[in-house]
Chain A
Amino acid sequence: RKEVEQDPGPFNVPEGATVAFNCTYSNSASQSFFWYRQDCRKEPKLLMSVYSSGNEDGRFTAQLNRASQYISLLIRDSKLSDSATYLCVVKPGGSYIPTFGRGTSLIVHP
């Protein structure tokens, strides 16, 4: 089992749709969780950290389920500009080395 698994997609949704991605992780010692966004042929950029209590930033909501070892990202009212690959990042406690998932591709169409 891979350390961090994501559905590669692509998720093809119309503008205005709500879409959700999950990411599962295998290391129960994981303590830090992030979602990064990567546009085509560009570098990854931090979208949001994922806190135990869940957190929201505008149209984006991230949640953590430690019991089932997954994190999720919900995007409401999708925009064309949301089209990108979303990378799940997990880091064990006491380690400086994160593990990146392969990413989930989102395509938002008019």
Chain B
Amino acid sequence: GAGVSQSPSNKVTEKGKDVELRCDPISGHTALYWYRQSLGQGLEFLIYFQGNSAPDKSGLPSDRFSAERTGGSVSTLTIQRTQQEDSAVYLCASILAGGDYEQYFGPGTRLTVT
């Protein structure tokens, strides 16, 4: 079946511009995570969505970052006024439900801020 998809796969943007990253989770998965991974670093948790509950935004590094999940499915991560330190791979993962289920990751969006 279809896995998690993310778009775009690569994004190069100028410092100060806004970017929007998209994640299409596996159909039927109720929970969704966003992470970012910088070179040589572990995955850094950003935000978690579970069903219709309020998202856990505790990992967002600044108020330039926001995310939404429409209709319990597609999610978008928006970074406003991008900075060079935002350059990283942004990964989305969906799971069947909250808990200890396997996380299925998308291929990621590689963001480069010049």
Number of interface residues, chain B, beta carbon within 8 A: 22
A8 to B39, CA, bound (A): 13
Q: Which of B43, B50, B103 contacts A46 (CB 8 A)?
A: B103
* A71 close to chain B: CB less than 8 A: no
CB distance from B70 to the nearest CB of A (A): 20
* B18 close to chain A: CB less than 8 A: no
| A32-B100, A96-B31 known; A43-B42 Cβ under 8 A | no
Residue of A nearest to B102 (CB): A46
* A10 close to chain B: CB less than 8 A: no
* A98 close to chain B: CB less than 8 A: yes
Q: Which of B40, B42, B100, B108 contacts A87 (CB 8 A)?
A: B42
Q: Which residues in A have some Cβ–Cβ distance to B below 8 Å?
A: 4, 8, 32, 36, 42-46, 49, 87, 91, 96-103
